[in-house]
Chains A and B, each alone.
Chain A
Amino acid sequence: MTGPPAAVEIHDLTVSYDKRPVLWNIDLELPPGELVGVIGPNGAGKSTLIKAALGLLPCDRGWVRFFGEPLEKQRLAVGYVPQRESVDWDFPVTVRDVVLMGTYGRLGWWRSPGAAERQLADQCLVDVGLWEFRNRQISNLSGGQRQRVFLARALAQQSRVYFMDEPFVGVDAATEAAIVGLLRQLKNRGCTVIVVHHDLQSAPNYFDRILLLNMRLVACGPTAEVFTPELLQKTYGGRLTILSEAADRVAVIRQ
């Protein structure tokens, strides 16, 4: 291979639950500094793909590399925004406590966060517009605010590659705009952001690169090349009309 190593390289990845494969032979490379949308129908293995890449799920076969190295050597370069429902929001922590958790990776064992970590966490809170909520217990937040707490925590990780699991689901317009702004900001810093996304309408506006997934990798490439009616139909199967409408709209936008 020539040039700088890919931010993310996945080779021949197969993952299964209870011996039933949900992802087959995934092969892809993502260059640094791009926003990547992972798109596919329910049960296509979108979350599974990013969980497997992050080492949260065991892989049957294949490997994942970040900047040419295995995850263990690049842990600090990889950040994660889980689905909001994955945690108990009644947990006795404040907004600031959660964001501070983003600094734990760099701290390593035994050390507790100090002034520098607190300052970083506070800056991330400002960046997502949650500064005035910093001392709130996290259940006293709206869905969009909760999503922004997770984003701030990810920012505090100061990673180069981010995986975000459905950050746009169930958030208000203000938060959606805030997330998009944040994604662009991360891109400008040279970060690669991989986002599991549901909404076909907004996908082509948000992402430089689209990854179409339905248990197998249908396509992965620049949005203009991949977001076509043919490939979308291949990904989603029968429900063609909605899809072609969406793709037509994209064509219009692009002209």
Chain B
Amino acid sequence: MMPALPMLPGMSTLGAEMSRFWSLQDGSVRSAVTGMVLLGICCGLLGCFIVLRRMSLVGDSLGHAVLPGLCVGFLVTWTKNPFWLFTGALAAALLAGGLIAIIQRGCRLKPDVAMGLVLSGFFGTGLVLLSRIQSDPRGGQGGLNQFFFGQAAALGDADLLLIGFVTIVVLGCVVALFKEWAVFTFDEGFALSLGIPVRRLHYLLMLLTAMSIVISIQAVGVVLLSALLITPAATALLLTDRLPKMLAIAVGVAVAGGLAGLNLSALSGELLVDGWELIRSPLERIGVSLPPLEVATGLPTGPAVVLVLSTLFLVAWTFSPRYGLLQRGLRRIRQRLTPSVPPEGG
């Protein structure tokens, strides 16, 4: 007989907190939800092309590389002025992208090395600038710390406007040039032979990626930014064999994961402590002891979103009807059970 789980005091408040969140009565929750939906559309779409073009590391590199740009943008006014932050971050991302291209073309270093170099160099510079800013009394209260892991609740109207603008541009580009993107991503040489300006499309993709990275910073933070681009697309690729469906699934996963993560990060600290207790106490009964959670603060948005997205990916990776672990395992067992048949010709 399993002992009944104890009803923890926090459990009753979970429902209350969730319904308060989803009622969208709180203005900051409304902005955060709007921002997350838009970011999900934007990053879900672009992520597919980035993953299919094997540029996932570029997303990560640019994500980290924006930090010094943010700091310089902050230093212009010593406030979090969205315009300067956006300009600084975009400039840094484009500079990083350009450097990656130049390093790998100019000498014998391969793309992964170029990306590693640029990522660490830019991120290090950003950390140095950040520590200088935070040791200054004017910068200490600037709230730049949020840029590490994101705080979607702090999205302002100007941020939302920017996110909306970039999302519309990305959506427009993907829809209007869908067949060009498809052939360019699948077979670059053939695309060139059709007269499609492959190089320009590549730079456009880099520019759109840089822009969507920059608008995601406030919501999910620089460290985990690339997950919003890559994880939904990777999940979608395991679930379908058609590009349009892949785009739709990636957007769905990104939006769902974004919203669920947002909800998770909006839960109060006490609730998280209680939730941890819910996992900890049954484990303790079977002899596994984990330390209790003591810090009663909410989660930043970035890690919460990544947690949900990664879980969704794990589910797809395990249960995908065609490419899932489970299915592959079953197929292997079935093959071993049936006598071997000579393969079909052709």
Contact = CB atoms under 8 A, between A and B. Distances in A.
A126 interface: no
Contacts of A123: none
A92 B346 contact: no
A55 interface: yes
B178 A80 contact: no
A144 interface: yes
Contacts of A79: 193
Given A87-B186, A93-B186, A55 B193 contact: yes
A107 B182 CA distance: 14
B200 to A, nearest CB: 12
Interface in B2-59: 52
A78 B179 contact: no
B193 A113 contact: no
Contacts of B194: 75, 104-105
B136 interface: no
Interface string A71-84: 01001001110100
Interface residue range, chain B: 20 to 34
Nearest to A50: B193
B160 to A, nearest CB: 30
Contact of B187 (A51, A86, A107, A175): A86
A51 B183 CA distance: 18
Given A104-B183, A113-B179, A172-B345, A93 B243 contact: yes
B140 interface: no
Contact of A174 (B178, B180, B189, B346): B346
Contacts of A137: 241
Contacts of B182: 93, 97, 101
Nearest to B196: A104
Nearest to A143: B346
Interface in B311-346: 345-346
A51 B345 CA distance: 33
Given A86-B187, A92-B237, A107 B346 contact: no
Nearest to A87: B187
Given A91-B52, A92-B243, A101 B346 contact: no
Given A55-B192, A56-B193, A87-B187, A107 B179 contact: yes
Nearest to A133: B346
B242 interface: yes
Interface in B182-238: 182-183, 185-187, 189-190, 192-196, 237
A105 to B, nearest CB: 4
A204 B189 CA distance: 29
A110 B241 contact: no
A92 B241 contact: yes
Nearest to A103: B179
Nearest to A71: B195
A120 interface: no
Given A82-B189, A92-B246, A98-B186, A109 B180 contact: yes
A59 interface: no
B242 A93 contact: yes
B179 A104 contact: yes
Contacts of A92: 52, 237, 240-243, 245-246
A88 B243 CA distance: 14
A82 B189 CA distance: 7
B176 interface: yes
A74 B98 CA distance: 34
A75 B179 contact: no
Contacts of A101: 179, 182-183, 186-187, 190
A94 B179 contact: no
A92 B52 CA distance: 9
A78 B187 contact: no
Contact of A112 (B52, B178, B183, B245): B178
Contacts of A94: 241-242
10 closest A-B pairs by CB:
A137-B241, A80-B193, A105-B194, A75-B195, A87-B187, A82-B189, A101-B183, A54-B193, A92-B246, A91-B186
14 contacts: A56-B189, A82-B187, A92-B242, A92-B246, A93-B182, A93-B241, A94-B242, A97-B242, A101-B182, A144-B346, A153-B190, A172-B345, A172-B346, A174-B346
Interface of A: 51, 54-56, 72, 75, 78-80, 82, 86-88, 91-94, 97-98, 101, 104-105, 107, 109-110, 112-113, 137, 142, 144-145, 153, 172, 174-175
Interface of B: 52, 176-180, 182-183, 185-187, 189-190, 192-196, 237, 240-243, 245-246, 345-346
